[in-house]
């Protein structure tokens, strides 16, 4: 959708006090940016989930909070609203934050997996991109049953959400909230015996290949947006935040970072993005536990001008459940993801 002005809420009180710490948010002396996958936040077991999630949100003390997997609920009279999210943020500073989200063509939120940006600073404009900068690639499957007669378009599942936020002193912050496709094989017609069982190894392999196209394509579209912002302002303050379903050495992250070691051109260093989690001690540097492996799947990638102001980063992963073990027992409390927070001067 086009980049559009935001007039969705009144400017929040600049003297909001965080009841957990007593510190004033949006003070202008520092900027705290966080990303957190809320793991299908909806009405199911909502009281239990609020009890687990709200203390974490309060610890973050985020001025700008990027959320993934926020579900919307059907409301009386038609349409959808973020009732579960409103219940989660009630009686916290986040209830007064400006909010924008991904939307459907009719203007309402999606049923599931919405992206949300909350900001105590004014949001000047926002937009979402899905195949606006990257056309749908055409691909003809080779293992589908029956074989297709022609190529079909490959689409990303989710858009990205971009907001421009007004900081004090006339500066602005570009926030790109992104949720890349998980590395799970995409469906291939005729190749599934059941939701979790593939008919052939070749079919699974092609499905995994298609998923990689989608994930890399989403990352490319975000990277092209980053370069458009740099074209306008080479010193732009940019953060790409979200659940990227990849660690820092995998292809989607390398596409987003555009490190000079990959491009082979030091002239591009001023456009490279860098991960803030490298400031977190290695033994605590993980946002997900999967089959006893500690992984960094959630990231904050920042532009050089923003990196120069970075003073601290942390991952709130104490007691994080293994998502595979917990899924088997149905023991979801808060989220299988740990939030990542960074502070900037």
Cβ atoms of 334 and 53 within 8 Å: the answer is: yes
Distance (Å, whole) CA 14 – CA 29: 12
pLDDT band for position 107 (50/70/90)? confident
Among 217, 216, 198, residue whose Cα is nearest residue 207 = 198
Model pLDDT for residues 67-93, shown as the tens digit of each residue: 999 999 998 888 899 999 999 999 999
Cα dist. 146→191, 208, 209, 224 in Å?
Answer: 10, 19, 19, 36
Q: What is the pLDDT of residue 21?
A: 38
Q: What is the average per-residue pLDDT within 187-204?
A: 96
Distance (Å, whole) CA 10 – CA 24: 19
Instruction: Look at the chain and report how many structural domains it folds into.
Output: 1
- Which CATH number does the domain housing residue 216 bear? 3.60.10.10
Residue 239 has pLDDT above 50, yes or no: yes
Q: What is the average per-residue pLDDT within 131-147?
A: 98
Distance (Å, whole) CA 91 – CA 266: 49
Q: What is the pLDDT of residue 114?
A: 98
Structure-token pair, residue 224: 């092209």
Range of the domain at 171: 4-344
Structure-token pair, residue 111: 């049923």
Structure-token pair, residue 31: 């900027």
The residue ranking higher by pLDDT, 163 or 108, is: 163
pLDDT band for position 326 (50/70/90)? low
Model pLDDT for residues 12-71, shown as the tens digit of each residue: 232 233 333 334 357 657 899 999 999 999 989 999 999 999 999 999 999 999 999 999
Structure-token pair, residue 324: 């595979």
Cβ atoms of 305 and 237 within 8 Å: the answer is: yes
Distance (Å, whole) CA 262 – CA 264: 5
Q: Output the DSSP codes for 249-273.
A: TSHHHHHHH--HHHHS-GGGGGG--
Among 244, 204, 212, 214, residue whose Cα is nearest residue 154 = 214
Identify the H or E element spanning 100.
strand 98-101
Q: What is the pLDDT of residue 5?
A: 36
Distance (Å, whole) CA 60 – CA 332: 21
Structure-token pair, residue 214: 């989608």
């Amino acid at each position: 959708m086009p980049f559009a002005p935001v007039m969705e809420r009144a400017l929040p009180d600049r003297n909001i006090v965080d009841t957990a710490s007593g510190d004033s948010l949006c003070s202008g002396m520092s900027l705290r940016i966080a990303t957190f996958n809320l793991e299908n936040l909806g009405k199911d077991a909502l009281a239990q989930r609020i009890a687990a999630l709200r203390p974490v949100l309060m610890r973050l003390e985020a001025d700008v909070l990027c959320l993934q997997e926020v579900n919307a609920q059907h409301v009386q009279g038609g349409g959808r609203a973020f009732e579960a999210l409103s219940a989660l943020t009630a009686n916290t500073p986040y209830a007064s934050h400006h909010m924008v989200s991904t939307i459907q063509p009719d203007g309402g939120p999606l049923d599931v997996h919405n992206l949300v940006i909350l900001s105590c600073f004014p949001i000047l404009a926002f937009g979402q991109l899905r195949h606006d900068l990257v056309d749908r690639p055409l691909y003809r499957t080779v293992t589908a049953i029956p074989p297709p007669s022609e190529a079909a378009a490959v689409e990303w599942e989710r858009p990205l959400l971009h907001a421009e936020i007004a900081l004090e002193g006339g500066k602005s912050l570009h926030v790109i909230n992104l949720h890349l496709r998980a590395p799970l094989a995409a469906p291939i017609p005729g190749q599934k015996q059941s939701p979790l069982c593939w008919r052939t190894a070749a079919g699974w392999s092609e499905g995994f290949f298609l998923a990689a196209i989608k994930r890399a394509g989403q990352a490319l579209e975000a990277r092209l947006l980053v370069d458009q912002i740099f074209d306008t302002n080479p010193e732009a303050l940019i953060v790409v935040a979200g659940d990227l379903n990849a660690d820092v050495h995998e292809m989607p992250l390398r596409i987003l970072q555009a490190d000079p070691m990959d491009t082979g051109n030091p002239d591009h260093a001023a456009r490279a993005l860098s991960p803030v989690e490298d400031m977190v001690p290695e033994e605590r540097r993980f946002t997900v536990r999967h089959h006893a492996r500690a992984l960094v799947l959630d990231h904050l990638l920042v532009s050089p001008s923003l990196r120069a102001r970075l003073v601290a980063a942390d991952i709130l992963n104490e007691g994080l459940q293994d998502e595979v073990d917990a899924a088997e027992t149905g023991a979801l409390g808060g989220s299988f993801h740990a939030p990542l927070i960074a502070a900037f001067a």
